[in-house]
Amino acid sequence: MSFWSWSGFFDYLVNPFILGGVLTTIWLTAVSLVFGLMLGLLIALMRRSKLGLVRSLGVFYVWLFRGTPLLVQLIVIYTALPQVGIRFSVVQAALIGLALNEAAYLAEIIRAGIQAVPDGQSRAARALGMTERQIMRHIVMPQAFKVIIPPLGNSVNGLLKTTSVTSVISMEELLRRTQVLIQEKFMVLELFAVAAFYYLLLTSVWDFVQRRIERDFGQSTAVASLTEKR
């Protein structure tokens, strides 16, 4: 038996079972990102609330989900919650775990973005008669967004790979499917190389997309930074 089989590597590169896993990794990332962003925005806004209790809840959430490993969170959601009668399917548990965890990190990114917008901007909008909600939506968020994009892109890159953690609750994403094939075929190196290839491909494609987004927003950001100088 040789150390490395090129034909094995290329076979598994186009294996439908593996390609299905790649697709799962992609939609798992996309869906948990969308939910993570929505929840993260809510948490970030909670942390800026005038009500002490609401603010504390936001702080508690971030503390809890950033302070424990995703692996533990997933296991709790999938295997421990049924003990108290709460049952989720594998897909539900994976999505919930990823989204809840991601939200804690995204909340901090969004909060930093909001804080980067000078207070004078809100004051000026308030002086024009805008309500706090309108100020957030039309004045603060669009400016915060430009600050948020680079760390957000970084976060997406991380999330693409973090989805592999859901393999422990038998979510059939790329890593899990790779391991399943390994147990049948024993081509450990070739199959892990295939998995690594696809993770690299996904992060590289995202890297390209992120650069495009940053470039498109870059121009108006340059303009914004000019006015900050004054």
Partner 1 sequence: MIEITGVTKYYGTYPVLKNCSTHVSKGEVVVVCGPSGSGKSTLIKCVNALEPIQQGSIKVDGIEVNDPATNLPDLRSRVGLVFQNFELFPHLSIEENIMIAQRIVLGRSESLARKQAMTLLDRVGMSGHAQKYPGQLSGGQQQRVAIARALAMNPKAMLFDEPTSALDPEMISEVLDVMTNLACEGMTMMVVTHEMGFARRVASRMIFIDQGEIVEDRPTEAFFTEGRNPRAEAFLSKILHH
Residues that bind partner 1 (CB under 8 A): 120-121, 123-131, 134, 138-139, 142-143, 146, 220, 222-228, 230
DSSP collapsed to 3 states, 47-80: CCCCCHHHHHHHHHHHHHHHHCCHHHHHHHHHHH
Token digits of residue 184: 């049948």
Nearer CB in complex with partner 1: 124/205: 124
* C-alpha distances out from residue 111 to 43, 93, 219, Å: 9, 27, 23
Nearer CB in complex with partner 1: 131/154: 131
Find the shortest distance in angstroms from Cβ 124 to partner 1.
4
Find the shortest distance in angstroms from Cβ 131 to partner 1.
5
Find the shortest distance in angstroms from Cβ 127 to partner 1.
4
Q: Residue 216: which residues within 8 A CB-CB, separation 6 or more?
A: none
Token digits of residue 187: 């081509």
- What's the rounded Cα separation, in Å, for the pair 114 and 136? 9
Asked whether the beta carbons of 70 and 130 are under 8 A apart, the reply is: no
Find the shortest distance in angstroms from Cβ 139 to partner 1.
6
Q: Report residue 151: phi and psi, to 5°.
A: -65, -25
Find the shortest distance in angstroms from Cβ 225 to partner 1.
7
CB count within 10 Å of CB 140 equals 23
Nearer CB in complex with partner 1: 184/228: 228
Nearer CB in complex with partner 1: 50/230: 230
- What's the rounded Cα separation, in Å, for the pair 13 and 2? 19
Nearer CB in complex with partner 1: 83/219: 219
Nearer CB in complex with partner 1: 86/222: 222
Q: Residue 189: which residues within 8 A CB-CB, separation 6 or more?
A: 3, 4
Find the shortest distance in angstroms from Cβ 150 to partner 1.
17
